Structure 1
């Protein structure tokens, strides 16, 4: 005979009363969690659309920078019409971006999670506000090719920061991975564009000195670093496209020109006419990169939309299961008793064992557990993508320290960091951490 005044059946009834009082709130929070995930995904999907437009503007400005260099170096004799046509394409891409930014952020009520991204967009737009002045000065030959290149570099850097920040605020691992791959690919493509413009400077002077050759070498290494990270996060299709590009004859010819230019580091004269060959080879490579970039942006938008649709379906399924639970006795469906009872206790009647086993199959607890495990998995996968972003932030911070302490410009700081990394045989990110540690910064 059981001397316990609260028998097991009475315990079940008592627990049933408690659950009926609280389970409705629990269900509402479960569904609210899924709605929060959907809202975050919709925000990320919106950001992805902006990233796609930003990548197009970057591409047009990269082409404009290269054409402007040839135009300036030839004193208006070459690429005059090409320069005008490219400016028109750049203006169209900029107008599309500005229109999209206004629609998505200035006319939206839910922008609270975009503070850092919005600030980055603001800085990028501030630079673009002065692009008409830059174009006018180029047209009037009031800038040198080097000054023009540096100005375009800054504009593109601001736009690249938008892509980087979008990757950093990504909350879904499948989307974040594509964003990391895209950022690093665009960054590598930007270094390729800077290499094209820097080489054009050498040809315009009809000579390559040691400093110019060193700059070209560092830009080539920077491309390697960026494309290595891209390959880590890219899909098989994108990697196949990249490896195919690497094997093309034009790329081999480019390598030969690179070698020739390094051999001219002693200041030997070279015909400026070769600049058109250099421009054609580098442009062909960069244009081919654009196809990979478009593949990345296309997959980014597709995956973002799929994830929103998938989350919507999951919310609908959650609602169905919750409604099913509500229509069933809490005793048999809502309560996983091992959360509140020691189900191994010997005094529980065997007649209730089957009920206890059935409870774990279709309970609210199962829904909560599934959702928690999904969030845990997503967080773990997201950390892998975020690590690459964190390393880039560390590198940027180390470069800033070098710029402040040694009065370097950004290019010099990057080259110094690369050289130290190669000398000590460590990664760029590890070298950056050592620089930060040595400076005493936290």
Structure 2
């Protein structure tokens, strides 16, 4: 009788795992067109910065319009993918956060037309437009982050974290491109100091994001990441960054040719990220498909059952805890026993903890944005500066802030 119950539970566990894998596999069908949409917005943001610092240059308007046209084509594909994805997800009992994050991104997209009208009528400043575009893109990345939280398999969780952090690094590079354009194309001393700090913050955050990518990427993906450093533009990147810092510090007159040169260099850099970004998405689908194929082979349940039966008096509890798909609460309770539970469980704990740390930081930033009217970047910079001053980890500082405001 006991053996029958165990066999039934294992079958149910496999079915649940199969559904989770199917969800992640299908989600890549929406992440891929979302990635293209984000790339279009990043290009439009950078070229819009050129347009807003020189309203009379028709070539900038032409470039902006070409990016908008590409966006409309990709948006249609994305919305089609959303509809298909929702139909597939009817069999899944997904957490509300997945739907809320996607709805939030679609709601942000509704503001895009109004933003473009402000740009066309020149009733918005370049730095304000950059922030508006960045908020839309941030909503897209938050959806990807929410998908990453649903990974209950260690290998998939690592792959999701590598993808998310790489997309985050690419977005920070896009923000650096747009801010650098404004810094080189403006000669307003009161803004240049702020731009210098903002650009430096983006560079630091890129390094942090790339470091997280390295922590979770496969050996092949690490090789691809290293190859990006050998691209022709990479040799000039540090010199350009120094040139922008010197320009801001010395209040050098605005230079549109320099702004264009910086835009072209950074566009080449960001375009070069796309191949690895696509590979990260494809890798997720491949490993999800392979794991689904394994889960589909029900004969694999038999040796597991036999093993449990032979050691049932002493190891049932241990085997149950070792099953894939353990809850977030169980992961927290087992944190101190990670080494004993094995490499797979330990890696999943690390991956989940990384996601949890980010959620604390995002919630703390939201509190600062509401209470102090900070932008998202200002809130991040505040947490970063305070962490450096106090010697605390950023996540620990975020937890303290949330506890003080009773929003923990």
| Match status 1:120 vs 2:101 | yes
Q: Report deviation, 1:107.
A: 5.9
| Match status 1:55 vs 2:35 | yes
Q: Report deviation, 1:177.
A: 0.7
Moved more, 27-36 or 274-283: 27-36
Moved more, 149-158 or 125-134: 125-134
Matches within 5 A, 1:292-303: 292-303=276-287
**TM-score, normalising length from structure 2?**
0.86
Distance in 1, matches of 2:94 and 2:386, equals 38
Matches within 5 A, 1:22-33: 23-33=3-13
Counterpart of 2:19 in structure 1 is 39
Describe the SS at the equivalent of 1:268. Answer: coil
| Match status 1:307 vs 2:320 | no
The correspondence for 1:94, drawn from 61, 69, 75, is 75
**TM-score, normalising length from structure 1?**
0.79
Counterpart of 1:177 in structure 2 is 158
Query: Deviations along 1:214-260, whole A, 9 cap, x unmatched?
Result: 11111111111111111111112222222232344422312112112
The correspondence for 2:251, drawn from 262, 267, 277, is 267
- Residues 51 and 166 in structure 1, CA contact (< 8 A), matched pair in contact too: no
Query: Deviations along 1:74-116, whole A, 9 cap, x unmatched?
Result: 2151323322221122112222221111112146432322421
Counterpart of 1:346 in structure 2 is none
Counterpart of 2:375 in structure 1 is 409
Instruction: Mark the structure with the bigger radius of gyration.
Output: 1
Unaligned runs of 5+ in 2: 325-340
- Residues 54 and 163 in structure 1, CA contact (< 8 A), matched pair in contact too: no
Q: Report deviation, 1:372.
A: 5.6
| Match status 1:241 vs 2:221 | no
Distance in 1, matches of 2:145 and 2:304, equals 39
- Residues 31 and 319 in structure 1, CA contact (< 8 A), matched pair in contact too: no
Say if 1:76 and 1:107 are closer, same or farther in 2 by CA, change over 3 A: farther
Describe the SS at the equivalent of 1:265. Answer: helix
Query: Deviations along 1:148-173, whole A, 9 cap, x unmatched?
Result: 21221111011011110000111111
The correspondence for 1:339, drawn from 304, 310, 313, is 313
Counterpart of 2:197 in structure 1 is 214
Distance in 2, matches of 1:438 and 1:133, equals 38
Counterpart of 1:16 in structure 2 is none
Say if 1:33 and 1:72 are closer, same or farther in 2 by CA, change over 3 A: same
Query: Deviations along 1:348-401, whole A, 9 cap, x unmatched?
Result: xxxxxxxxxxxxxxxxx99x9767634365544321111111111121122223
- Residues 254 and 278 in structure 1, CA contact (< 8 A), matched pair in contact too: no
Matches within 5 A, 1:409-428: 409-428=375-394
Distance in 2, matches of 1:390 and 1:337, equals 36
Counterpart of 1:382 in structure 2 is 348
Q: Report deviation, 1:439.
A: 4.8
Say if 1:76 and 1:158 are closer, same or farther in 2 by CA, change over 3 A: farther
- Residues 145 and 164 in structure 2, CA contact (< 8 A), matched pair in contact too: yes
| Match status 1:276 vs 2:251 | no
- Residues 48 and 166 in structure 1, CA contact (< 8 A), matched pair in contact too: no
Q: Report deviation, 1:425.
A: 4.2
Distance in 2, matches of 1:243 and 1:432, equals 32
Matches within 5 A, 1:49-88: 49-77=29-57, 78-88=59-69
What CA RMSD, in Å, does the superposition of the two structures yield over aligned residues?
A: 2.8
